[in-house]
Amino acid sequence: MTAAVWRTVTSGARRGGVREVQEAPRLPVALDGKAIMELLGLPPGPLIGAATRHLQDLRLARGPLSREEAETLLRTWAAEQDAGRRDSRNDVLP
C-alpha cells in the first residue's frame, strides 16, 4: 500500500457536486517532523511532508520501525531523492 492509497475519492458519492474525500487516520511513525528536519538538515517545507509519508509507507509495508531503522531508511531515501534531482537537472539542455 502506498501514500496514494491514503486518500481515496469516493466515486459514487457526491454531495453538492463535490466528490467526498476520505482520509485514513494518521499512522504514528518513529520520527516526527522536527526530528526529520534535524536528521536531514532541512527547513520546514514539502520535503518534510514527503519524508513523513515515506515513513508511513514503510510502516504499512513493514510494521513499526525503531528510531534507528527509521533514521537509516530515511537517510537512504533522502540520498535517492537528491540523486534524482541531480539527474533531472543534468537532462536539461543549456
Residue 68, in any domain of the structure: yes
Give pLDDT, residue 22.
45
Residue 18, in any domain of the structure: no
Q: In what helix (H) or strand (E) does residue 9 lie, and over which residues does it extend?
A: strand 7-15
Domain assignment of residue 49, given as a range = 28-90
Higher pLDDT, residue 89 or 51:
51
Is residue 5 within 8 A of residue 22, CB to CB? The reply is: no
CA distances from 94 to 60, 61, 71, 73, 82 (A): 42, 41, 37, 35, 21
**Residue 7 pLDDT exceeds 60:** no
Residue 45, in any domain of the structure: yes
Split into its structural domains, the chain has a count of: 1
Residue 73, in any domain of the structure: yes
Residue 62, in any domain of the structure: yes
- Structure confidence by residue, pLDDT tens digits, 17-68: 555 444 545 788 999 999 999 999 999 999 999 999 999 999 999 999 999 9
Residue 32, in any domain of the structure: yes
**Residue 69 pLDDT exceeds 90:** yes
Nearest Cα neighbor of 52 from 76, 67, 33 is 33
Name the β-bridge partners of 63: none
Give pLDDT, residue 25.
57
Residue 22, in any domain of the structure: no
- C-alpha grid cell for residue 47? 520535503
Is residue 35 within 8 A of residue 52, CB to CB? The reply is: no
Residue 17, in any domain of the structure: no
Instruction: Report residue 1's pLDDT band, with 50, 70 and 90 as the boundaries.
Output: very low
Give pLDDT, residue 56.
93
- Structure confidence by residue, pLDDT tens digits, 8-22: 333 344 445 555 444
